[in-house]
Amino acid sequence: MILSGRGVTAVLGPTNTGKTHYAIERMVAHGSGIIGLPLRLLAREVYTRLVERVGVAHVALVTGEEKIAPPGARYSVCTVEAMPRETRAAFVAIDEVQLAGDLERGHIFTDRILHLRGRDETLLLGAATMRPILEQLLPGLTVVERPRLSQLFYAGQKKITRLPQRTAIVAFSADEVYAIAELIRRQRGGAAVVLGALSPRTRNAQVGLYQSGDVEYLVATDAIGMGLNLDVDHVAFAQDRKFDGYQFRNLNPAELAQVAGRAGRHLRDGTFGVTGQVDPFDPELVQQIESHRFDPVRVLQWRSKQFDFASIPALRRSLEAPPKIAGLARALPAIDQQALEHLARYPEINDLATSPERVEKLWEACALPDYRRITPAQHADLISSLFSDLVRSGTVNEDFLAEQVRRADRTDGEIDTLSARIAQIRTWTYVSNRPGWLADPTHWQEKTREIEDRLSDALHERLTNRFVDRRTSVLMKRLRENAMLEAEISVNGDVFVEGHHVGQLAGFRFTTVAGAEGPDARAVQAAAQKALALEFEARAARLHASGNGDLALSADGTVRWLGDPVARLAATDHIMRPRVILLADEQLTGNAREHVAARVERFVNYHISTVLKPLDDLSRAEDLQGLAKGLAFQLVENLGVLFRRDVTDDVKSLDQEARASIRRYGVRFGAYHIFMPALLKPAPAELITLLWALKNDGLDKPGYGDLIPALAAGRTSIVTDPGFERMFYKLAGFRFLGKRAVRIDILERLADLIRPLLQWKPGTTPRPDGAYDGRRFTTTTAMLSILGATPDDMEEILKGLGYRADAVKPEEAAAFLSGHAGESAAPATEAEPAAPVSDHDDADEPAAAETDAAPAAVVETPVSDEAPAVAGEAAPAASTEEPAEPKPVLLWRPGGRNDNQRGQQRGQGDRRPQQNRNRGGGEARQDGERRDSREGGRDGNREGRDNNRRGGDRPDNKFKPREGGRGDQGGRGERSDRQDRRDRNDRGSQPARFEAKPPRKEKPIDPDSPFAKLAALKEQMKK
């Protein structure tokens, strides 16, 4: 041990005193030299400076993970751990010697301070707190104190978002560093990140990002306190506690000063302070930092270098040896010693370490740094594998090494993933640089260096993308230069300021991109608005001159111009005249705004009057008078559809001339509705739904817009959704009938099919398909086809229309019909449905006018093969094991108010089970309207009476079928109609209801009858 300071000079002082620069100047003055630095990052910086001075061929770089050794190198730049214990160099310098007091690395610095000397000159560089202990250990030491070139002042506490530019924010955990950097990015444009866990290449790239001015803030750990030369004006402590490898503790004043001293450069003063949750510094602490006066270092960490390699226990005992001189303290077990303690418990290691050479090799392997920050036991397992290979094979197994390197050779993943891979590859970089550990070290040194560089670049990119907003950072840089910002707008509406995307112009509204906040936001807005003002005027002129094809009205009430929203509609008192509200920023003013508003209003009026032309014409009709004008007004208010039961009195009061005047506007008087067939198309229905929704706040109601696709697909009936607003069914042209909704015009066709079945009189004409006794009918294939419904759906639809069902057994129905076999006509098939009969009000209109909507043959649900078209024609059950009970045949008739009571008086005329009677009478009101169940009966009777009373609407007094009840049995002449009225008056004011006759007694079917032969033929065709 050298206990002399002869030829040794200690250059001591605070930060920013030029100590490292002085050491470089002294080294190049000698023919050879070695300088030891505390960080690989700092070693790289000094190496670059020396190369610039003397050339790359004369400088070597030696660290634990990297070795650049030109054959003629005269100067060596090393980390302190990589410095040799002996040297013949003329000059030796050791930087940051105060780290000799560090619990983790201190013993290494102490060893170099006490043992390593240059032939001509030795420099020890560090803090002034080292002077007493160095003078104690090295008698004859020359001490040179250098004053700080600039002053350091305390600036107090500030919020992170209020910190000045060129600030370094210090924290002591990766999570805290990342959180602060994210906040800085959102508020101030971005920050560079420096952590000890980053690779030197990544740290250099991040420091370069800060030094170039691309970002104004640096978030780092205390790694920046070790000699990094940064242009920092202010240092803010976001934390003042750290984990030193053994415990969490507060930083001492000297450590705080080492970091705070990074503020200020050369002759420029710097400041320091606190931020975040850190309490303001005590005045005493502030005074210590500003004056650079701290308690001196009293002891240095020391570990014996006299190793006994006779055995593992002997080596362990030598490491436990205490120092023999004052001022030194035995260091706590470092990573290498901890690994040895674990390995000493492995039987296989004890079996291999049987000679001093092998014990020495084991100790060499224990020096492997723990870059991965794993547990000591895991780190010891890796060392065990390496040592076993070295003893058994002489080198590390390259297959094992290749697999480990391959796993790390990936650049995908986020920051933490890449950091873990860099730590992994650094381990193998260290292994490849150990002399004698690999058979082909050069290959693996190049391989691991290439992978580490690639991972480091990827990590730098991820850090930059996450914590730097390039747009804001560049704009702030331009603002610092007091430059005028240039803005431009692309054809797609993207707004750029200084080439960076700052927002989007859609129509006449400008939206800034997310994160456009901070001190630059106002300047960016000003530059963007200057360009937007001219663009708004140009766009207003183009919109004013554009055609209707460039504008569109979307389903949400937004008017779009070339795809961009420019206005929205709002309700007014007149449902057909909505108000237009411009969607434009305040910059659209004056004539430009007026021109835009006028053009959009013209388009909206044109669009409504075109798509809803029949309704618009009806609203402007001037030739309608009296009740006809009132009915037209109601049609417009209800957007083209009225339930006939709601305007029964008005319709009855219209004379033939008034009806004709309304029909000229495309209005049809149906059995169930007064409606305009031309509106039962997707485009009018969509616009009608929108106008109603604007008037009734229905844009957000369930079902809005969901029924138009069904209308466009040509569906004649659809399954209802109980969650939908029921009004949307009517607006889309459908009648809500419980579980199913049917298109309005199809319901009128259904009425045309039902009407002749109820008008037929047994014994007069051939029985139509579906007719029963002139008062009741059965469902037919034609009905199911036009409705696109199953027999079960048909029940719901008929009940919703007010019809009631009498259930009879199939054999009873067959027996009844057999008695009318001679009256049967050829049954209607799906291919040849019964010819529709026009309604009783519009007999003079062609049948084609009733089918303006999509074809009625579209079937949503296939008709069941088991559903009989006529009572008595049910196919036999397919099962041969146990014949299923045949379903009753439903005979449908118009219902009435007292239908349930009358059903009980009919005796055998109604043999339905109790549940069928309840269902027929109790579920009639399916569309939520109380009078729906009566529209086929009472309203029809009333309408029939009215027409009979007037002698019909036609000049020739020819009666036509009525819409329901007895009034629908037209064609009997005026005398028959009057007789009906006298009969009704005799029975009281209650409207007449159809009642089933008692069925005939069952009798065997005559096998020679035409009906029996026809039934047998049908059965053969089914098979």
Residue by residue, DSSP assigns 54-118 as H-GGGEEEE-SS-EE--TT--EEEEEGGGS-SS---SEEEE--GGGGG-TTTHHHHHHHHHH---
> The whole model's pTM is what?
0.53
pLDDT at 773 over 60: yes
Q: How far apart are CA 828 and CA 786, in angstroms?
A: 13
Which residues make Cβ contacts (< 8 Å) with residue 544, sequence separation at least 6? 595, 596, 598, 599
Which residues make Cβ contacts (< 8 Å) with residue 288, sequence separation at least 6? 253, 257, 294
Q: How far apart are CA 557 and CA 608, in angstroms?
A: 12
pLDDT band at residue 481, thresholds of 50, 70 and 90?
A: low
| Phi and psi, residue 110, nearest 5° | -60, -40
**What was the pLDDT predicted at 912?**
40
Taking residues 527-547, report their average pLDDT: 84
Residue 996's closest CA among 870, 918, 889, 905?
A: 905
Residue 697's closest CA among 553, 579, 571, 604?
A: 571
pLDDT at 900 over 60: no
636 or 867: which leads in pLDDT: 636
Half-sphere exposure (Cβ direction) of 586: Cα atoms closer than 13 Å: 1
pLDDT at 955 over 80: no
Q: How far apart are CA 791 and CA 863, in angstroms?
A: 7
Taking residues 992-1003, report their average pLDDT: 44
Average confidence score pLDDT of the chain: 80
pLDDT at 519 over 60: no
Percent of the chain with pLDDT over 90: 44
pLDDT at 681 over 50: yes
Q: How far apart are CA 122 and CA 94, in angstroms?
A: 8
758 or 498: which leads in pLDDT: 758
How large is the angle between the packed helices 40-54 and 19-28, nearest 10 degrees?
A: 40
From 392-401, 468-477, 661-670, the region with the lowest mean pLDDT: 468-477
Residue 773's closest CA among 781, 784, 762?
A: 762
Indicate the helix (H) or strand (E) that contains 144.
strand 142-145
Q: Give, in order, the Cα–Cα distances in Å from 487 to each of 38, 44, 359, 497, 531.
A: 49, 42, 71, 4, 6
pLDDT at 1022 over 90: no
Token look-up 């409705």 returns 787
Which residues make Cβ contacts (< 8 Å) with residue 549, sequence separation at least 6? none
Which residues make Cβ contacts (< 8 Å) with residue 967, sequence separation at least 6? 940, 941, 942, 943, 944, 945, 947, 948
Taking residues 183-209, report their average pLDDT: 86
869 or 87: which leads in pLDDT: 87
542 or 869: which leads in pLDDT: 542
pLDDT at 986 over 50: no
Taking residues 290-296, report their average pLDDT: 89
Q: Are 295 and 129 in contact (CB under 8 A)?
A: yes
**What was the pLDDT predicted at 26?**
95
Q: How far apart are CA 214 and CA 191, in angstroms?
A: 9
